[in-house]
Amino acid sequence: MRRRIVLSAVAIVAVIGISVGLWAFQPWKAFTSSELHEASPLATEQAAGEPDQADESDDATGPQPLASGTFVSQEHETSGKALVIERPDGSRVLRLTGLASSDGPDLHVWLTDAAAGLDEWGAYDDGRYVALGELKATHGSHNYAIPTDADIDGLRSVVIWCDRFNVAFGSAALDL
């Protein structure tokens, strides 16, 4: 009888432990990815259904690039380009193009005052940052509105940040 109680208690603890581990680490995300192609804010005209054909504006009164950089890998393999764009109305957008990264739990996009490619990939939340929202997809080209009241002067990089584990998946230098 006593053995049955001990085995039942061990089984319950094991099930709870495995459940918490699966919730926290979400290991299936190592094998999943998502793709999204949004129109570029720099494109004056873009054919419907075509992914990201125009990334430069010829119109001086149209949207203008403010800063750009290339992603470097940190905790996970990450590549692509980042571009901060200012629209004629003064609003700003972060554009990620050709992004390729791993999936993970609780991924977000931040502009930070930390340099890109730090060896201490957990340092990006130690200083000033502007959160732009959840990562929309692990692959493709997508846009993130920068809040109109955000002070981006002095921000030096964009980072794909895992909030759950406080690590950078990848970052790109911007120097705003």
Does 71 lie in the same domain as 3? Answer: no
Expressed as residue numbers, the domain containing 88 is 63-176
- What's this model's pTM, rounded to 2 decimal places? 0.77
Q: Supply the pLDDT for residue 91.
A: 96
Does 164 lie in the same domain as 95? Answer: yes
Q: Is 60 exceeded by the pLDDT of residue 62?
A: yes
Spatial separation of the C-alpha atoms in residues 63 and 79, rounded to whole Å: 24
Mean pLDDT of 35-61: 63
Does 76 lie in the same domain as 21? Answer: no
Residue 58, in any domain of the structure: no
Residues 142-157 have pLDDT tens digits of: 999 999 999 999 999 9
* Per-residue DSSP letter, 38: P
**Secondary structure of residue 70 in the 3-state scheme:** strand
